[in-house]
Structure 1
Protein backbone atom coordinates (compact mmCIF):
# COMPACT_ATOMS: atom_id res chain seq x y z
CA UNK A 1 0.00 0.00 0.00
CA UNK A 2 1.14 3.52 -0.77
CA UNK A 3 -1.80 5.32 0.85
CA UNK A 4 -2.90 5.53 4.48
CA UNK A 5 -6.56 6.08 3.52
CA UNK A 6 -8.87 3.21 4.39
CA UNK A 7 -12.37 2.94 2.98
CA UNK A 8 -15.52 0.92 3.40
CA UNK A 9 -16.26 -0.30 -0.11
CA UNK A 10 -19.49 -1.85 -1.36
CA UNK A 11 -18.80 -4.11 -4.33
CA UNK A 12 -21.95 -4.38 -6.42
CA UNK A 13 -21.51 -7.54 -8.46
CA UNK A 14 -19.38 -8.81 -5.61
CA UNK A 15 -20.23 -12.46 -6.23
CA UNK A 16 -18.81 -12.40 -9.78
CA UNK A 17 -15.14 -13.11 -10.55
CA UNK A 18 -14.12 -9.46 -10.98
CA UNK A 19 -16.01 -8.16 -7.98
CA UNK A 20 -14.90 -11.00 -5.72
CA UNK A 21 -11.27 -10.57 -6.79
CA UNK A 22 -11.24 -6.82 -6.26
CA UNK A 23 -13.00 -7.23 -2.90
CA UNK A 24 -10.34 -9.72 -1.85
CA UNK A 25 -7.50 -7.40 -2.86
CA UNK A 26 -9.04 -4.38 -1.16
CA UNK A 27 -9.71 -6.31 2.06
CA UNK A 28 -6.19 -7.74 2.06
CA UNK A 29 -4.92 -4.16 2.10
CA UNK A 30 -7.06 -3.28 5.12
CA UNK A 31 -10.25 -1.86 3.61
CA UNK A 32 -13.61 -3.09 4.89
CA UNK A 33 -15.65 -4.68 2.11
CA UNK A 34 -19.37 -5.29 1.71
CA UNK A 35 -20.08 -7.63 -1.17
CA UNK A 36 -23.42 -6.91 -2.78
CA UNK A 37 -25.75 -9.20 -4.69
CA UNK A 38 -29.42 -9.28 -5.57
CA UNK A 39 -29.67 -12.14 -3.07
CA UNK A 40 -28.16 -11.45 0.36
CA UNK A 41 -27.57 -15.18 0.94
CA UNK A 42 -25.36 -15.42 -2.13
CA UNK A 43 -23.36 -12.39 -1.06
CA UNK A 44 -22.91 -13.81 2.42
CA UNK A 45 -21.61 -17.11 1.03
CA UNK A 46 -19.02 -15.40 -1.18
CA UNK A 47 -18.02 -13.10 1.70
CA UNK A 48 -17.31 -16.20 3.78
CA UNK A 49 -15.17 -17.57 0.93
CA UNK A 50 -13.16 -14.34 0.73
CA UNK A 51 -12.79 -14.20 4.52
CA UNK A 52 -11.42 -17.75 4.51
CA UNK A 53 -8.95 -16.77 1.79
CA UNK A 54 -7.78 -13.86 3.97
CA UNK A 55 -7.03 -16.05 7.00
CA UNK A 56 -3.58 -15.16 8.28
CA UNK A 57 -3.34 -11.92 6.28
CA UNK A 58 -2.13 -9.32 8.78
CA UNK A 59 -4.24 -6.17 8.93
CA UNK A 60 -6.94 -7.43 6.60
CA UNK A 61 -10.28 -5.65 6.61
CA UNK A 62 -13.64 -7.20 7.37
CA UNK A 63 -15.65 -8.76 4.53
CA UNK A 64 -19.42 -9.09 4.76
CA UNK A 65 -22.22 -9.76 2.30
CA UNK A 66 -25.55 -7.97 1.90
CA UNK A 67 -28.28 -7.32 -0.64
CA UNK A 68 -27.23 -4.58 -3.07
CA UNK A 69 -29.15 -1.70 -1.52
CA UNK A 70 -28.01 -2.57 2.00
CA UNK A 71 -24.41 -2.92 0.80
CA UNK A 72 -24.49 0.58 -0.71
CA UNK A 73 -25.99 2.06 2.44
CA UNK A 74 -23.23 0.51 4.56
CA UNK A 75 -20.36 1.98 2.50
CA UNK A 76 -18.86 5.33 1.50
CA UNK A 77 -17.36 4.01 -1.74
CA UNK A 78 -19.26 1.85 -4.23
CA UNK A 79 -17.60 -0.27 -6.90
CA UNK A 80 -19.77 -1.29 -9.85
CA UNK A 81 -18.55 -4.66 -11.15
CA UNK A 82 -21.68 -5.83 -12.91
CA UNK A 83 -22.41 -7.04 -16.44
CA UNK A 84 -23.41 -4.32 -18.88
CA UNK A 85 -26.72 -6.05 -19.64
CA UNK A 86 -29.15 -4.61 -17.10
CA UNK A 87 -26.57 -2.04 -15.97
CA UNK A 88 -28.69 1.09 -16.34
CA UNK A 89 -31.72 -0.34 -14.57
CA UNK A 90 -29.61 -1.56 -11.64
CA UNK A 91 -27.59 1.65 -11.28
CA UNK A 92 -30.76 3.77 -11.36
CA UNK A 93 -32.25 1.70 -8.54
CA UNK A 94 -29.37 2.08 -6.07
CA UNK A 95 -29.13 4.78 -3.34
CA UNK A 96 -25.86 6.25 -4.68
CA UNK A 97 -26.37 9.95 -3.94
CA UNK A 98 -23.38 11.33 -2.03
CA UNK A 99 -21.24 8.25 -2.70
CA UNK A 100 -18.00 7.92 -4.62
CA UNK A 101 -18.82 5.39 -7.33
CA UNK A 102 -16.10 3.50 -9.22
CA UNK A 103 -17.23 1.82 -12.43
CA UNK A 104 -15.22 -1.06 -13.88
CA UNK A 105 -18.07 -2.11 -16.17
CA UNK A 106 -17.01 -3.12 -19.69
CA UNK A 107 -19.73 -3.07 -22.39
CA UNK A 108 -18.44 -5.97 -24.48
CA UNK A 109 -19.95 -8.32 -27.03
CA UNK A 110 -18.69 -11.56 -28.52
CA UNK A 111 -19.08 -13.08 -31.96
CA UNK A 112 -17.21 -15.55 -34.16
CA UNK A 113 -14.33 -13.09 -34.49
CA UNK A 114 -13.95 -12.69 -30.74
CA UNK A 115 -14.56 -9.93 -28.23
CA UNK A 116 -15.32 -6.37 -29.22
CA UNK A 117 -16.62 -3.20 -27.61
CA UNK A 118 -20.30 -2.37 -27.78
CA UNK A 119 -21.34 1.07 -29.00
CA UNK A 120 -22.79 3.13 -26.15
CA UNK A 121 -24.90 6.21 -26.87
CA UNK A 122 -23.93 6.28 -30.54
CA UNK A 123 -20.23 6.29 -29.68
CA UNK A 124 -20.59 9.34 -27.44
CA UNK A 125 -20.84 7.47 -24.15
CA UNK A 126 -19.65 4.68 -21.89
CA UNK A 127 -20.95 2.64 -18.98
CA UNK A 128 -19.24 5.02 -16.54
CA UNK A 129 -20.82 8.06 -18.18
CA UNK A 130 -24.21 6.37 -18.14
CA UNK A 131 -23.83 5.79 -14.39
CA UNK A 132 -22.95 9.47 -13.90
CA UNK A 133 -26.03 10.57 -15.87
CA UNK A 134 -28.30 8.19 -13.96
CA UNK A 135 -26.89 9.26 -10.57
CA UNK A 136 -26.05 12.98 -10.85
CA UNK A 137 -25.65 13.33 -7.07
CA UNK A 138 -22.92 10.67 -6.99
CA UNK A 139 -19.26 11.19 -7.91
CA UNK A 140 -18.55 8.63 -10.65
CA UNK A 141 -15.10 7.62 -11.83
CA UNK A 142 -13.87 4.77 -14.02
CA UNK A 143 -11.09 2.38 -12.96
CA UNK A 144 -10.07 -1.31 -12.84
CA UNK A 145 -11.51 -2.00 -16.30
CA UNK A 146 -8.48 -3.87 -17.59
CA UNK A 147 -7.49 -5.99 -14.57
CA UNK A 148 -7.76 -9.76 -14.94
CA UNK A 149 -10.16 -11.50 -12.56
CA UNK A 150 -7.85 -14.52 -12.61
CA UNK A 151 -4.92 -12.37 -11.52
CA UNK A 152 -6.93 -10.73 -8.77
CA UNK A 153 -7.70 -14.10 -7.18
CA UNK A 154 -4.15 -15.35 -7.79
CA UNK A 155 -1.23 -15.87 -5.45
CA UNK A 156 0.94 -12.91 -6.47
CA UNK A 157 1.32 -10.26 -3.78
CA UNK A 158 0.69 -7.52 -6.35
CA UNK A 159 -0.16 -7.57 -10.05
CA UNK A 160 2.55 -6.24 -12.37
CA UNK A 161 0.36 -3.71 -14.14
CA UNK A 162 -1.21 -0.28 -13.73
CA UNK A 163 -4.75 0.81 -12.98
CA UNK A 164 -5.81 3.76 -15.11
CA UNK A 165 -8.37 6.05 -13.46
CA UNK A 166 -10.62 8.50 -15.30
CA UNK A 167 -13.10 10.99 -13.94
CA UNK A 168 -14.19 14.61 -13.73
CA UNK A 169 -13.67 14.88 -9.96
CA UNK A 170 -10.13 15.14 -8.58
CA UNK A 171 -11.31 13.89 -5.19
CA UNK A 172 -13.21 10.99 -6.71
CA UNK A 173 -10.24 9.93 -8.80
CA UNK A 174 -8.03 10.04 -5.72
CA UNK A 175 -10.17 7.40 -4.01
CA UNK A 176 -9.67 5.00 -6.94
CA UNK A 177 -5.98 5.92 -7.18
CA UNK A 178 -5.62 5.00 -3.49
CA UNK A 179 -7.49 1.72 -3.91
CA UNK A 180 -5.36 0.76 -6.91
CA UNK A 181 -2.42 0.34 -4.55
CA UNK A 182 -4.25 -2.68 -3.10
CA UNK A 183 -3.92 -4.37 -6.49
CA UNK A 184 -0.60 -3.18 -7.91
CA UNK A 185 1.33 -1.94 -4.88
CA UNK A 186 1.46 1.58 -6.28
CA UNK A 187 -1.03 4.38 -6.92
CA UNK A 188 -3.35 4.29 -9.87
CA UNK A 189 -2.58 6.43 -12.90
CA UNK A 190 -4.71 9.53 -13.50
CA UNK A 191 -5.82 9.01 -17.10
CA UNK A 192 -7.93 12.14 -17.55
CA UNK A 193 -11.63 12.94 -17.82
CA UNK A 194 -14.55 10.54 -17.45
CA UNK A 195 -15.26 10.56 -21.19
CA UNK A 196 -12.03 8.59 -21.68
CA UNK A 197 -13.84 5.59 -20.22
CA UNK A 198 -14.98 5.27 -23.84
CA UNK A 199 -11.42 4.12 -24.59
CA UNK A 200 -10.69 2.06 -21.48
CA UNK A 201 -13.88 0.00 -21.47
CA UNK A 202 -13.64 -1.51 -24.97
CA UNK A 203 -9.85 -1.86 -24.71
CA UNK A 204 -10.54 -4.87 -22.51
CA UNK A 205 -11.53 -6.66 -25.72
CA UNK A 206 -7.95 -6.20 -26.97
CA UNK A 207 -6.59 -7.82 -23.80
CA UNK A 208 -9.03 -10.72 -24.18
CA UNK A 209 -7.71 -11.28 -27.71
CA UNK A 210 -4.11 -11.15 -26.44
CA UNK A 211 -4.97 -13.64 -23.69
CA UNK A 212 -6.45 -16.08 -26.20
CA UNK A 213 -3.51 -15.79 -28.54
CA UNK A 214 -0.74 -16.14 -25.95
CA UNK A 215 -2.54 -18.11 -23.20
CA UNK A 216 -1.84 -15.43 -20.58
CA UNK A 217 -3.71 -12.98 -18.35
CA UNK A 218 -2.44 -9.68 -19.72
CA UNK A 219 -2.70 -6.20 -18.24
CA UNK A 220 -1.66 -2.61 -19.00
CA UNK A 221 1.63 -1.07 -17.80
CA UNK A 222 2.23 2.66 -18.26
CA UNK A 223 5.91 3.50 -18.81
CA UNK A 224 7.72 6.76 -18.21
CA UNK A 225 6.22 7.42 -14.76
CA UNK A 226 8.02 7.58 -11.43
CA UNK A 227 7.15 4.74 -9.08
CA UNK A 228 5.06 7.02 -6.87
CA UNK A 229 3.75 9.10 -9.80
Structure 2
Protein backbone atom coordinates (compact mmCIF):
# COMPACT_ATOMS: atom_id res chain seq x y z
CA UNK A 1 0.00 0.00 0.00
CA UNK A 2 1.24 3.50 -0.78
CA UNK A 3 1.38 6.33 1.74
CA UNK A 4 -1.81 8.43 1.73
CA UNK A 5 -2.25 12.11 1.05
CA UNK A 6 -3.84 14.22 3.81
CA UNK A 7 -7.60 14.63 3.51
CA UNK A 8 -9.38 17.84 4.46
CA UNK A 9 -12.97 18.63 3.58
CA UNK A 10 -13.90 21.98 2.13
CA UNK A 11 -17.61 21.60 1.35
CA UNK A 12 -20.56 19.24 1.39
CA UNK A 13 -19.73 18.21 -2.18
CA UNK A 14 -16.14 17.23 -1.38
CA UNK A 15 -14.78 14.75 -3.92
CA UNK A 16 -13.07 11.95 -2.01
CA UNK A 17 -13.44 9.27 -4.65
CA UNK A 18 -9.70 8.60 -4.80
CA UNK A 19 -9.12 8.39 -1.06
CA UNK A 20 -8.46 4.94 0.38
CA UNK A 21 -10.88 3.93 3.13
CA UNK A 22 -9.42 1.45 5.60
CA UNK A 23 -11.70 -0.66 7.78
CA UNK A 24 -10.25 -1.97 11.03
CA UNK A 25 -12.14 -5.12 11.90
CA UNK A 26 -13.14 -5.39 8.27
CA UNK A 27 -13.82 -9.13 8.31
CA UNK A 28 -16.81 -8.89 10.66
CA UNK A 29 -20.38 -8.45 9.37
CA UNK A 30 -20.47 -4.64 9.70
CA UNK A 31 -16.97 -4.07 8.35
CA UNK A 32 -17.50 -6.48 5.50
CA UNK A 33 -20.81 -4.82 4.63
CA UNK A 34 -19.36 -1.31 4.62
CA UNK A 35 -16.43 -2.52 2.52
CA UNK A 36 -18.83 -4.02 -0.02
CA UNK A 37 -21.00 -0.89 -0.24
CA UNK A 38 -18.09 1.55 -0.51
CA UNK A 39 -16.10 -0.57 -2.95
CA UNK A 40 -19.11 -1.20 -5.18
CA UNK A 41 -19.57 2.59 -5.30
CA UNK A 42 -16.02 2.90 -6.64
CA UNK A 43 -14.21 3.80 -3.42
CA UNK A 44 -10.74 2.29 -2.88
CA UNK A 45 -11.09 0.05 0.19
CA UNK A 46 -8.64 -1.89 2.36
CA UNK A 47 -9.83 -4.18 5.14
CA UNK A 48 -7.82 -5.09 8.20
CA UNK A 49 -7.82 -7.94 10.69
CA UNK A 50 -5.70 -9.27 13.52
CA UNK A 51 -5.12 -12.15 11.11
CA UNK A 52 -3.94 -10.74 7.75
CA UNK A 53 -4.71 -13.98 5.95
CA UNK A 54 -8.34 -13.69 7.03
CA UNK A 55 -8.45 -10.14 5.69
CA UNK A 56 -6.97 -11.24 2.37
CA UNK A 57 -9.50 -14.06 2.08
CA UNK A 58 -12.42 -11.73 2.80
CA UNK A 59 -11.08 -9.15 0.35
CA UNK A 60 -10.86 -11.79 -2.35
CA UNK A 61 -14.47 -12.82 -1.72
CA UNK A 62 -15.65 -9.20 -1.91
CA UNK A 63 -13.89 -8.38 -5.18
CA UNK A 64 -14.00 -4.77 -6.44
CA UNK A 65 -10.20 -4.56 -5.93
CA UNK A 66 -10.64 -4.59 -2.14
CA UNK A 67 -7.34 -5.48 -0.46
CA UNK A 68 -6.70 -7.25 2.85
CA UNK A 69 -3.95 -6.53 5.39
CA UNK A 70 -3.20 -6.42 9.09
CA UNK A 71 -5.03 -3.79 11.14
CA UNK A 72 -1.79 -1.86 11.60
CA UNK A 73 -1.01 -1.78 7.91
CA UNK A 74 -4.50 -0.59 7.08
CA UNK A 75 -4.27 2.12 9.74
CA UNK A 76 -0.89 3.23 8.47
CA UNK A 77 -1.69 3.50 4.78
CA UNK A 78 -5.35 4.55 4.55
CA UNK A 79 -6.62 8.10 4.21
CA UNK A 80 -9.81 7.53 6.20
CA UNK A 81 -10.17 4.74 8.77
CA UNK A 82 -13.45 3.20 9.95
CA UNK A 83 -13.40 1.23 13.22
CA UNK A 84 -15.87 -1.68 13.21
CA UNK A 85 -14.45 -4.02 15.86
CA UNK A 86 -16.65 -5.61 18.57
CA UNK A 87 -17.02 -3.48 21.68
CA UNK A 88 -15.16 -6.03 23.78
CA UNK A 89 -12.02 -5.53 21.68
CA UNK A 90 -12.39 -1.80 21.05
CA UNK A 91 -9.84 -0.41 23.51
CA UNK A 92 -7.23 -3.10 22.93
CA UNK A 93 -7.41 -2.75 19.15
CA UNK A 94 -7.09 1.02 19.22
CA UNK A 95 -4.09 0.84 21.52
CA UNK A 96 -2.37 -1.40 18.98
CA UNK A 97 -2.86 1.08 16.12
CA UNK A 98 -2.51 4.34 18.07
CA UNK A 99 0.74 5.46 16.45
CA UNK A 100 -0.43 4.47 12.98
CA UNK A 101 -3.57 6.62 13.27
CA UNK A 102 -1.83 9.85 14.27
CA UNK A 103 -3.19 12.65 12.09
CA UNK A 104 -5.74 10.37 10.41
CA UNK A 105 -9.47 10.91 10.08
CA UNK A 106 -11.06 8.10 12.11
CA UNK A 107 -14.74 7.13 12.03
CA UNK A 108 -15.77 5.10 15.07
CA UNK A 109 -18.88 3.00 14.44
CA UNK A 110 -18.79 0.80 17.54
CA UNK A 111 -21.87 0.34 19.73
CA UNK A 112 -21.29 -0.61 23.39
CA UNK A 113 -24.07 -3.12 24.00
CA UNK A 114 -24.87 -5.86 26.45
CA UNK A 115 -27.25 -8.78 25.93
CA UNK A 116 -29.26 -10.86 28.37
CA UNK A 117 -32.48 -12.86 28.38
CA UNK A 118 -34.46 -9.62 28.00
CA UNK A 119 -32.60 -8.52 24.88
CA UNK A 120 -30.07 -5.82 24.03
CA UNK A 121 -29.25 -2.91 26.30
CA UNK A 122 -26.85 0.03 26.08
CA UNK A 123 -23.62 0.15 28.07
CA UNK A 124 -22.08 3.41 29.29
CA UNK A 125 -18.27 3.44 28.99
CA UNK A 126 -16.32 5.39 31.60
CA UNK A 127 -15.37 7.91 28.90
CA UNK A 128 -19.05 8.44 28.03
CA UNK A 129 -19.23 6.55 24.72
CA UNK A 130 -17.20 4.33 22.43
CA UNK A 131 -16.37 7.38 20.31
CA UNK A 132 -15.12 9.32 23.33
CA UNK A 133 -13.07 6.31 24.41
CA UNK A 134 -11.53 6.30 20.94
CA UNK A 135 -10.76 10.01 21.22
CA UNK A 136 -9.06 9.43 24.57
CA UNK A 137 -6.99 6.53 23.23
CA UNK A 138 -6.12 8.30 19.96
CA UNK A 139 -5.26 11.86 21.02
CA UNK A 140 -3.45 12.62 17.76
CA UNK A 141 -6.21 11.32 15.46
CA UNK A 142 -9.19 13.29 14.14
CA UNK A 143 -12.16 11.49 15.67
CA UNK A 144 -15.67 11.32 14.28
CA UNK A 145 -18.48 8.80 14.74
CA UNK A 146 -20.95 7.37 12.20
CA UNK A 147 -22.45 4.18 10.69
CA UNK A 148 -24.06 3.04 13.97
CA UNK A 149 -27.57 2.20 12.78
CA UNK A 150 -26.95 0.12 9.66
CA UNK A 151 -28.09 -3.46 9.24
CA UNK A 152 -25.21 -5.77 8.35
CA UNK A 153 -27.78 -8.03 6.67
CA UNK A 154 -28.75 -5.27 4.25
CA UNK A 155 -25.18 -4.07 3.76
CA UNK A 156 -23.96 -7.49 2.66
CA UNK A 157 -26.94 -8.38 0.44
CA UNK A 158 -25.89 -7.94 -3.23
CA UNK A 159 -29.54 -8.12 -4.24
CA UNK A 160 -30.19 -4.76 -2.57
CA UNK A 161 -28.88 -1.95 -4.76
CA UNK A 162 -29.90 0.98 -2.56
CA UNK A 163 -30.25 1.23 1.23
CA UNK A 164 -32.63 4.09 1.97
CA UNK A 165 -31.48 5.46 5.32
CA UNK A 166 -29.87 8.42 7.03
CA UNK A 167 -26.54 8.09 8.81
CA UNK A 168 -25.87 10.34 11.80
CA UNK A 169 -22.39 11.89 11.89
CA UNK A 170 -20.78 13.28 15.04
CA UNK A 171 -17.54 15.16 15.49
CA UNK A 172 -15.94 18.33 16.78
CA UNK A 173 -14.38 19.57 13.52
CA UNK A 174 -16.64 20.83 10.70
CA UNK A 175 -14.21 19.89 7.94
CA UNK A 176 -13.93 16.34 9.24
CA UNK A 177 -17.68 15.79 9.59
CA UNK A 178 -18.15 17.22 6.08
CA UNK A 179 -15.68 14.62 4.82
CA UNK A 180 -17.57 11.81 6.53
CA UNK A 181 -20.89 13.04 5.14
CA UNK A 182 -19.41 13.14 1.64
CA UNK A 183 -18.20 9.56 2.05
CA UNK A 184 -21.62 8.36 3.22
CA UNK A 185 -23.32 10.11 0.32
CA UNK A 186 -21.35 7.93 -2.09
CA UNK A 187 -23.35 4.87 -0.99
CA UNK A 188 -26.63 4.64 -2.95
CA UNK A 189 -29.63 5.53 -0.80
CA UNK A 190 -27.65 6.83 2.17
CA UNK A 191 -27.50 10.41 3.39
CA UNK A 192 -25.00 11.68 5.95
CA UNK A 193 -26.54 14.02 8.53
CA UNK A 194 -24.51 16.06 11.03
CA UNK A 195 -25.85 15.23 14.50
CA UNK A 196 -23.67 17.14 16.95
CA UNK A 197 -20.38 17.04 18.80
CA UNK A 198 -18.61 13.87 19.82
CA UNK A 199 -19.84 14.30 23.40
CA UNK A 200 -23.32 13.41 22.11
CA UNK A 201 -22.23 10.04 20.72
CA UNK A 202 -23.65 8.00 23.61
CA UNK A 203 -27.26 8.70 22.63
CA UNK A 204 -26.56 7.65 19.05
CA UNK A 205 -24.76 4.47 20.10
CA UNK A 206 -27.43 3.59 22.66
CA UNK A 207 -30.25 3.87 20.13
CA UNK A 208 -29.00 0.66 18.52
CA UNK A 209 -30.42 -1.32 21.45
CA UNK A 210 -33.86 0.09 20.62
CA UNK A 211 -33.46 -0.68 16.92
CA UNK A 212 -32.53 -4.27 17.73
CA UNK A 213 -35.75 -4.55 19.75
CA UNK A 214 -37.73 -3.17 16.81
CA UNK A 215 -36.08 -5.64 14.45
CA UNK A 216 -36.86 -8.58 16.71
CA UNK A 217 -40.49 -7.61 17.24
CA UNK A 218 -41.25 -6.86 13.59
CA UNK A 219 -38.71 -9.19 11.94
CA UNK A 220 -37.22 -6.26 10.03
CA UNK A 221 -33.93 -4.50 9.34
CA UNK A 222 -34.84 -0.93 10.24
CA UNK A 223 -32.83 2.25 9.80
CA UNK A 224 -33.56 5.87 10.62
CA UNK A 225 -34.79 8.89 8.67
CA UNK A 226 -34.50 12.55 9.68
CA UNK A 227 -37.51 14.49 8.38
CA UNK A 228 -37.82 18.09 7.14
CA UNK A 229 -34.28 18.13 5.70
* Greater CA drift, 41-50 or 183-192: 183-192
Task: Give per-residue Cα distances to partners, 1:112-159, cap 9 Å, x unaligned.
Answer: 1100101211xx610011111111110010000001101111222221
2:27 matched residue in structure 1: 15
The residue aligned with 2:121 is 116
Equivalent in the alignment of 1:59: none
TM-score, normalised by the number of residues in structure 2: 0.89
CA shift, 1:196, in A, is: 1.3
Q: Deviations over 1:151-191 (max 9, x none)?
A: 11122222111000001011211221012113343540000
Tell me which of 94, 97, 106 is aligned to 1:91.
Answer: 94
Give the 3-state SS of the residue equivalent to 2:165 in structure 1. Answer: coil
Q: Which residue of 2 aligns with 1:172?
A: 176
Deviation at 1:86, TM superposition (A): 2.1
Conserved 8 A contact 2:165-2:190: no
Equivalence map 1:192-207=2 (5 Å): 192-207=196-211
3-state SS of 1:174 partner: helix
5+ residue gaps, structure 2? 1-12
From 116, 123, 131, the counterpart of 1:128: 131
- 2:61 alignment counterpart: 49
Contact 1:28 1:182 in 2 (8 A): no
Q: Secondary structure at the match of 1:36?
A: strand
Matching of residue 34 in structure 1 with residue 46 in structure 2: yes
Structure-1-length-normalised TM-score: 0.89
CA contact (8 A) 2:163 2:190 kept: no
- Map of 1:209 onto structure 2: 213
Distance 2:182 2:160 in 1: 19
Please give the alpha-carbon distance, in whole angstroms, between the structure 1 residues aligned to 2:166 and 2:69: 30
Aligned residue pair count: 213
CA contact (8 A) 1:104 1:144 kept: yes
Q: Does 1:71 align with 2:83?
A: no
Going from structure 1 to structure 2, the CA distance change for 1:5 and 1:187 (only over 3 Å counts) comes to farther
CA RMSD of aligned residues (A): 1.3
